[in-house]
A and B are shown apart, each in its own frame.
Chain A
Amino acid sequence: MAIKLKIDRQDVEVPEGTTVLDAAAEAGVHIPTLCHVPKVTSPGSCRVCLVEIEGARTLQPACVTPVTEGMIVRTHSKRARQGRQMSVELLLANHPWDCNACVRNGQCELQTLAQTMGITDVRFPYTREEVPVDTSTAAVVRDMNKCILCRRCVAVCQDVQGVGSLAPRARGFDTVIGAGAGENLCDAVCVQCGQCAAICPVGAIYEQDAIEDVWRALDDPEKHVVVQTAPAIRAALGECFGLEPGTCVTGKMVAALRRLGFAKVFDTNFTADLTIIEEGHELLTRLKTALVDKGEVSLPMFTSCSPGWINFMEYFYPGLLPNLSSCKSPQQMFGALAKTYYAEKEGIDPKNIVVVSVMPCTAKKFEADREEMVDSGFKDVDYVLTTRELGRMIQEAGIDFMKLPDEEQDSPMGMSTGAADIFANTGGVMEAALRTVYEVVTGRELPMEKLHVAPIQGLDGLKEVALTFEKCQPDWSFLEGVTAKVAVAHGLSNARKVCDMVADGEGGYHFVEVMCCPGGCIGGGGQPRMTTDEVRQSRIKAIYTEDEGRTMRKSHENPAVTQIYAEFLGEPLGHKSHELLHTHYHAKEPV
C-alpha cells in the first residue's frame, strides 16, 4: 500500500513500511545518520537523525520511524536542527579531540556530522576516563577512548558474522564495548575478520597498521621486497582516491606499487590459479575415494582460502575440520613459493626476500603470523597491508594516483587468468573451480553462458547449484552421470547455517565455498569504508568485467602455472605441493 506524506512541504508517496529516512531520501533530502547501517542495524540510539513530526511531542529518529498516512515531517526546522546539533555536541563532548593525529582524520563520520551540522563549539564537559588501547590481536586495534557507542561493531560481529565477540558491558556512562569476557579482543573468540573495523564510524577500531614495517623493509638495501595483491584489491583501491566503487584500477595499482619501491609486483591471482589446480584435484581425489574406493573421506569439501573462515571452523566446528581443503590460502601459497621457487629461480637468498601482501581483510594478518606458515624455512609472508593501508602509503608517498599509467605485473608470479580474478567475490572460487574441474573431467568447456554459474552469483547468503557430469574422459569415468551438488555461503552467519546442515548430515553437498566476509573478499574488513550492498554489487561487477576481458579465463590455462609444475612442483598434490602448498588445522579452545 502506498503512503502519502509531506516532507519539508514536498508531497512524497512511498510504500508502507518505508522509514522517514528512506522517504526523505526519495524526496532528495539527506538526513544524517550514525548508528543506523541499512540491513545491519538500526538501534535508534544515536539520535542524530531526528526530525520533527507534526503532532509528536518529541523529535523522532528518522531511521526507525515508519511513515504514516498524512504525516507531516520537517527535517530542518529549528527544533530538528537544534536537536540534532545537541546530539552531536553531546557525542563530541566525550570524545577525545585527537583528529589531527587520528587514523580517521578526514574520513570520519563524526567529523563529517559535526561539520555538516555547523557545530563550532562544544560546551559540555569531557568526563571520560582514559582506558588502555587494545592491541592484543594481530588483526585490529580497539581504542575505546574514541568509541561513541553506536554499537555497529556489536551488530556486525553478532548478526552478520554470527561470532558475537563484542558486547556492551556495564551501564550508563560506564558502558564500554567489551570483548568476550574481558576488555581485550584476545580474551574473546574473535575470527579476526575486521568487519568491526570496517563498520566503525570513527577511529575506535582500525587495522593493526603494518605500514611502518613495510617502509622499513623497502628502505633496507639488503632486502628484496616483493609484493602480492589479492584479487579484491583492484576493484576497491580506487575508492581511496575518490573513484566510484566498482572502478577497476589494476594497472594504476601496479604502477603505484612499483613507485613505492617494490622490487617485483606480483599477484596473488597467480596462486589463486594454483589453488584451483590443487583444490580441484583434491576434490576429485576425495570423490574418487568415496565413489570408487568406497573409502573413508570427508565430504563435502570446504574451500579454505579465507582465514577468518578457518578461524571460525577451528573455534566453532572442530568436528568439521577434516572437511576443509588442506590447501593453504593463495596468500600463503604465494609466500611459500616466493621464498623457494622464486628465490631459486632468481638466485636470491630467501633470507633477504621480504614478502608483502596487500589484502582485503585483517584475518590475513593473523594468518601470516600462524606458526605453521613457515614452510619455506622462513616466515612465508612477512607483512600484510590492507587495501586501506596501501591507499595511505600511496598518499604518504605523494604519488598522484590518478595520473599513473597502467602497468603490468611482473612474471612469473604475476601471471593469472580470469578465474583468479573472481576469487574476489562470493561464488567466484566455486565458479573458477567448476570451470577447471568440469573441463578436466569431461574434456569440454563448462557449458554455461560466458562461463558464469549464474545460480551462485549475487548477494544471497546461501546459494547452491547442481552439475551433472556426462561423457566423461576415460580417467574420470567413475563420475559418469554423477550430479555434483555445490553450495556457496558468505558472511559467517550464513557459514554457520551450512556447517549446521553438514554436521546434521543434510544438504547432500560435495563441495562448499565459504568466504568469511559478506560479499566475499570484495567486502573484506580491510576494504575502503563504507561497504554497503550497493558497493559490493559494484565491486563484483568490476571483477566480472575484468574476468570477461581476459583471453585466459580458466586456471589450468595459466602458462605460469604449467611452468611451475614442470620446473618445480612436479604434479598437483605431489610431494612438493604437500610440503609448500598444503596445511593442517587445529581445534581452538574457545577462550
Chain B
Amino acid sequence: MAKPRAYVMVSVDADTVVIGAREVKTRLAAEIGTCGLGEEIRVLETGSFGPSDAGIVAAVMPEGLVYGNLTPERIPQLVEEHFVKGRPVSAWLLAGEHILPDPETTDSRGQQYFGRIVLDNCGRIDPDSIEEYIANDGYFALGKALTEMTPEAVVEEVKDSGLRGRGGAGFPTGLKWSFCASEKADMKYVICNADEGEPGTFKDRLIMEGDPHKVIEGMALCGYALGATQGYVYIRGEYKLSIERIRNAIEAARENGLLGKDIMGSGFDFDIAVKIGAGAYVCGEETALIESMEGKRGLPRVKPPFPAKAGFRGKPTNVNNVETLANIPFIIRNGAAQFHGIGDPGTPGTKVYTVLGHINRAGLIEVPTSVTLRDVLEDYAGGMRSGSFKMAQLGGTAGDLLDASMLDVPLNYDSLAKNGHSLGSGAILFMNETIKVCDFLHACMKFFAHESCGNCNPCRNGMAALLELTARLKKGEGYPGDIALMEELVMGMQSIAFCPLGQSPAAPVLSAVRYFRDELHAGINVDAVRPRPEHTMRHLMKLAS
C-alpha cells in the first residue's frame, strides 16, 4: 500500500462521540473512498485537541489545518473542495489558536511555552496505533530502563525528577514508589487509578483516549521499578471509549512483546488488565478502589496497613493517578533534570487541567506549573464568555474557591499552599457574577452528601448537616451562628472522618467563608432562633444528677 500523502484526524473522545464524531469519521472515510482517494488519504481517530467550543473537530495533517463544527452533511462538500480541488473550506476552519500553542508561542506575561509532556501525542496520533506511538519515541523509555537501568535507578530517577502525584494529594511519586519497592513479597501490584470521579474533571479520560500507550508504558516502568508483575487499570464504567482504547493498547503492546513474559528479552514479566469501576466517587480513594477491585463494597479501609505494605489481595500495591503515570516515560527518556527544569521547582513539570465554566474555550490543557490562574483564563480559556470573573474552583468539588485576589498565584502546590490553598485533582471551574456562593456551596454539598459512602458517622451525618445548613442559607433562612457552625463542622470532619472524602467539604466551605463571608451572611435570618433539643437536655440532666 502506498504511503498516504495526508491524514485526517478526527477527534473522537467521549464528548464528541455522543454528538456524532464516529459518524463524521465514517462518512469522511466513505466519501474519500468514493472519490478514489482512499489510498492517499487516511482517516484516523485521535484524542482531544484541547479546549474547544467547536463541536466535532478534525485536523488535516501535515498541513495542520483544523476544521470545526463538522457534521456528516458537511462531509461531501469538504472532501470535494479540500481533497479533490485542493481548496480548504475557510468558513469551517478554526483559527490557529484553537490548537494548542506550539513551543515558540509566549503567554501574556511573555513567558515561553514549552512542549507538552503528557498530551504531546493527544490529537496528533492515532491512539489505536502502537506504531504511531512508537514512531513518536514511544516505549523508548521502557527499553532504556530495561536495558540500561536497575529498578533502583528508575526509582531514583523518579525521585530526582520531583514528580508529585497528580491524583489530588500531590504526594512525591518517587518516595511513594520507594515504599513499595522496599517491600519483599512474592507478588506486587501496580494500579493505575482512572476512576476520576470529581465532577467536571475529565483529564484522565482524555489522556487515556488520546494516548493510551503512554499510560501503559508508565505502568510498565512503575512495575519494573517496584518489582511488580501485574498491573491493573481501574477505569470508571462510564468511560467506555477509554476502556476500549486502553484494552486495544494492552493488546497491541502484548503483540509487540512490550507486555507479557520476558519483555524485550530482559527477563522482566509484566502484564496489565482492566478493571471496571463501581461508579461511586469514593472508589477513587485508593483503599476503597482496592476493596472494589477485590469484589467488595467500595469502602475505604482502615489505614494502616497502607497499600504499599498490604494492598490488593494483601500484597504490596502502588496506586498512581493516570496523569502521574503518563509523566513517567518522559522522565525516564529525558532524565530527571530536564523534567525538573520545567515549571515550578516545588512541583516540577506540567499539570493537565480540564477548564470549564463561563469561558470561551472549555476543554483540556497542559500547562507548566508556573502559570497562574489568570494565564489559564486569558491565554488558554480565551477569557470569560460572559460577565466578569467572580471566582474559580480549583480541583473539582473538593477544591478551594478562589476570588480575583488569587488570579496571579501560580498554580502549583507550594505557591498555593502559601496562600492556604491546594491544587486538587485537575479541574478549574471559572464562574461569573451570576453564580451565588450559597447556591454553589449547596450544590457542592449535594454532591458530597450523595457520594458519602455512609460508612462512617462523621461523614454520613456531617454531610447531611452541611446539606441542610447550606440549604437554609440559600433560602435566606440560616440561623445566626450557622456560618461558624459550618466552619466548626467541616474542620471537625477534617480531623475525625474515616477517609479523605469526609475531609473534603472543608476546602470549598472554608474558602467560601474566607472570600465571600458577606455574601454567605446575607443568607442568615438574624431574627431566627435555633431550636434547642430541649428534651435531650432535660434527660441528660436527669442522668447526670
**Which residues of chain B are within 8 angstroms of A168 by Cβ–Cβ distance?**
454
B381 at interface (Cβ–Cβ under 8 A)?
Answer: no
B457-501 at interface with A (beta carbon < 8 Å):
457-458, 460-465, 467-469, 485, 488-489, 492-498
Residue of A nearest to B455 (CB): A45
For the complex, what is the distance from the CA of A282 to the CA of B304, rounded to whole Å? 54
**Which residues of chain A are within 8 angstroms of B494 by Cβ–Cβ distance?**
58
Decide: A58 and B496 in contact? CB cutoff 8 A: yes
- Which among B451, B461, B467 is the interface contact of A91 at CB below 8 angstroms? B461
**Which residues of chain B are within 8 angstroms of A93 by Cβ–Cβ distance?**
461, 465
Write the B434-456 contact mask toward A (1 if CB under 8 angstroms, else 0). Answer: 00000000000000011111111
Which of B126-134, B156-164, B534-542 is near enough to bind chain A?
A: B534-542
Decide: A114 and B465 in contact? CB cutoff 8 A: no
Most chain B CB within a 10 A radius of its CB, from A87, A121, A125, A148 = A125
For the complex, what is the distance from the CA of A115 to the CA of B530, rounded to whole Å? 22
**Which residues of chain A are within 8 angstroms of B454 by Cβ–Cβ distance?**
149, 168, 170-175
- Which among B449, B451, B458, B537 is the interface contact of A121 at CB below 8 angstroms? B537
Residue of A nearest to B536 (CB): A97
A229 to chain B, nearest CB (A): 32
**Which residues of chain A are within 8 angstroms of B496 by Cβ–Cβ distance?**
47, 50, 58-59, 83, 86-87
A453 at interface (Cβ–Cβ under 8 A)?
Answer: no
A551 at interface (Cβ–Cβ under 8 A)?
Answer: no
Decide: B498 and A86 in contact? CB cutoff 8 A: no
Decide: A59 and B465 in contact? CB cutoff 8 A: no
Decide: A119 and B457 in contact? CB cutoff 8 A: no
Most chain B CB within a 10 A radius of its CB, from A48, A79, A172 = A172
Decide: A121 and B465 in contact? CB cutoff 8 A: no
For the complex, what is the distance from the CA of A106 to the CA of B543, rounded to whole Å? 8
A94 at interface (Cβ–Cβ under 8 A)?
Answer: yes
- Which among B451, B489, B498 is the interface contact of A172 at CB below 8 angstroms? B451
Residue of A nearest to B450 (CB): A172
Decide: A125 and B465 in contact? CB cutoff 8 A: yes
Decide: B456 and A97 in contact? CB cutoff 8 A: no
Decide: A47 and B456 in contact? CB cutoff 8 A: yes
Decide: B452 and A97 in contact? CB cutoff 8 A: no
- Which among A66, A86, A106 is the interface contact of B458 at CB below 8 angstroms? A86
Residue of B nearest to A35 (CB): B457
Decide: A59 and B495 in contact? CB cutoff 8 A: yes
**Which residues of chain A are within 8 angstroms of B451 by Cβ–Cβ distance?**
172
B44 to chain A, nearest CB (A): 42
- Which among A90, A94, A111, A173 is the interface contact of B449 at CB below 8 angstroms? A173
Decide: B453 and A124 in contact? CB cutoff 8 A: no
B3 at interface (Cβ–Cβ under 8 A)?
Answer: no
**Which residues of chain B are within 8 angstroms of A120 by Cβ–Cβ distance?**
537, 540
B197 to chain A, nearest CB (A): 13
Decide: B280 and A171 in contact? CB cutoff 8 A: yes
Decide: A122 and B495 in contact? CB cutoff 8 A: no
**Which residues of chain A are within 8 angstroms of B304 by Cβ–Cβ distance?**
66
**Which residues of chain A are within 8 angstroms of B536 by Cβ–Cβ distance?**
92, 97, 99, 114, 122
For the complex, what is the distance from the CA of A119 to the CA of B464, rounded to whole Å? 20
Decide: A91 and B457 in contact? CB cutoff 8 A: yes
**Which residues of chain A are within 8 angstroms of B193 by Cβ–Cβ distance?**
none
A82 at interface (Cβ–Cβ under 8 A)?
Answer: yes
**Which residues of chain B are within 8 angstroms of A57 by Cβ–Cβ distance?**
495
Decide: B457 and A46 in contact? CB cutoff 8 A: yes
Residue of B nearest to A106 (CB): B543
**Which residues of chain A are within 8 angstroms of B455 by Cβ–Cβ distance?**
43, 45, 175
A44 at interface (Cβ–Cβ under 8 A)?
Answer: yes
Q: Assuming the A-B contacts A82-B492, A114-B540, A172-B451, are A44 and B302 also in contact, with contact meaning beta carbons closer than 8 angstroms in the complex? A: yes
For the complex, what is the distance from the CA of A149 to the CA of B498, rounded to whole Å? 14
A49 to chain B, nearest CB (A): 11
For the complex, what is the distance from the CA of A120 to the CA of B543, rounded to whole Å? 12
A123 at interface (Cβ–Cβ under 8 A)?
Answer: yes
**Which residues of chain B are within 8 angstroms of A125 by Cβ–Cβ distance?**
464-465, 468-469
A284 at interface (Cβ–Cβ under 8 A)?
Answer: no
B2 at interface (Cβ–Cβ under 8 A)?
Answer: no
**Which residues of chain A are within 8 angstroms of B492 by Cβ–Cβ distance?**
82-83, 86
Decide: B543 and A90 in contact? CB cutoff 8 A: no
A64 at interface (Cβ–Cβ under 8 A)?
Answer: yes
Q: Assuming the A-B contacts A58-B494, A172-B463, are A47 and B457 also in contact, with contact meaning beta carbons closer than 8 angstroms in the complex? A: yes
For the complex, what is the distance from the CA of A82 to the CA of B535, rounded to whole Å? 23
A46-85 at interface with B (beta carbon < 8 Å):
46-48, 50, 57-59, 61, 64, 66, 79, 82-83
- Which among A91, A124, A174, A175 is the interface contact of B489 at CB below 8 angstroms? A124
A70 to chain B, nearest CB (A): 16
Decide: B460 and A47 in contact? CB cutoff 8 A: no
Decide: A90 and B485 in contact? CB cutoff 8 A: no
B502 to chain A, nearest CB (A): 9
Most chain A CB within a 10 A radius of its CB, from B461, B465, B469, B544 = B461
**Which residues of chain A are within 8 angstroms of B460 by Cβ–Cβ distance?**
149, 172-173, 175
For the complex, what is the distance from the CA of A106 to the CA of B535, rounded to whole Å? 15
For the complex, what is the distance from the CA of A120 to the CA of B461, rounded to whole Å? 18
**Which residues of chain B are within 8 angstroms of A86 by Cβ–Cβ distance?**
458, 488-489, 492-493, 496
Decide: B457 and A45 in contact? CB cutoff 8 A: yes
B533 at interface (Cβ–Cβ under 8 A)?
Answer: yes
Residue of A nearest to B457 (CB): A46
For the complex, what is the distance from the CA of A83 to the CA of B456, rounded to whole Å? 14
Write the B517-545 contact mask toward A (1 if CB under 8 angstroms, else 0). Answer: 00000000000001011011101100110
B320 at interface (Cβ–Cβ under 8 A)?
Answer: no
- Which among B452, B493, B543 is the interface contact of A115 at CB below 8 angstroms? B543
A154 to chain B, nearest CB (A): 12
Decide: A94 and B498 in contact? CB cutoff 8 A: no
Decide: A127 and B457 in contact? CB cutoff 8 A: no
B473 to chain A, nearest CB (A): 12
**Which residues of chain B are within 8 angstroms of A91 by Cβ–Cβ distance?**
457, 461
Write the A91-107 contact mask toward B (1 if CB under 8 angstroms, else 0). Answer: 11110010110000010
Residue of B nearest to A102 (CB): B539
For the complex, what is the distance from the CA of A42 to the CA of B452, rounded to whole Å? 20
For the complex, what is the distance from the CA of A525 to the CA of B23, rounded to whole Å? 65
Decide: B465 and A172 in contact? CB cutoff 8 A: no
Decide: B495 and A79 in contact? CB cutoff 8 A: yes
A222-268 at interface with B (beta carbon < 8 Å):
none
**Which residues of chain A are within 8 angstroms of B468 by Cβ–Cβ distance?**
125, 127
**Which residues of chain B are within 8 angstroms of A173 by Cβ–Cβ distance?**
449, 452, 454, 460-461, 463-464
For the complex, what is the distance from the CA of A171 to the CA of B539, rounded to whole Å? 32
Decide: B544 and A127 in contact? CB cutoff 8 A: no
B354 at interface (Cβ–Cβ under 8 A)?
Answer: no
- Which among B458, B463, B469 is the interface contact of A87 at CB below 8 angstroms? B458
For the complex, what is the distance from the CA of A115 to the CA of B536, rounded to whole Å? 11
For the complex, what is the distance from the CA of A103 to the CA of B304, rounded to whole Å? 38
- Which among A46, A58, A100, A174 is the interface contact of B503 at CB below 8 angstroms? A58
Q: Assuming the A-B contacts A83-B492, A121-B533, are A148 and B464 also in contact, with contact meaning beta carbons closer than 8 angstroms in the complex? A: no
For the complex, what is the distance from the CA of A90 to the CA of B465, rounded to whole Å? 8
For the complex, what is the distance from the CA of A174 to the CA of B280, rounded to whole Å? 15
Decide: B497 and A47 in contact? CB cutoff 8 A: yes
**Which residues of chain B are within 8 angstroms of A99 by Cβ–Cβ distance?**
535-536, 539
Residue of B nearest to A115 (CB): B543
* Besides A47-B456, A111-B540, A173-B463, 19 new A-B residue pairs in contact (Cβ under 8 A), listed by A number: A47-B496, A58-B494, A58-B503, A82-B492, A87-B458, A90-B461, A90-B462, A94-B464, A100-B539, A121-B533, A123-B485, A123-B530, A124-B461, A127-B464, A148-B457, A149-B460, A168-B454, A172-B450, A172-B452
- A selection of 19 A-B contacts at a CB cut-off of 8 Å is A43-B455, A45-B457, A47-B496, A87-B458, A92-B533, A97-B535, A106-B543, A114-B536, A115-B543, A121-B532, A124-B462, A127-B467, A127-B468, A171-B452, A171-B454, A172-B450, A172-B452, A172-B460, A173-B460
Which residues of A are interface residues toward B (Cβ below 8 A)? 42-48, 50, 57-59, 61, 64, 66, 79, 82-83, 86-87, 90-94, 97, 99-100, 106, 111, 114-115, 119-125, 127, 148-149, 168, 170-175
6 closest A-B pairs by CB: A175-B454, A90-B461, A172-B452, A124-B465, A86-B492, A45-B456
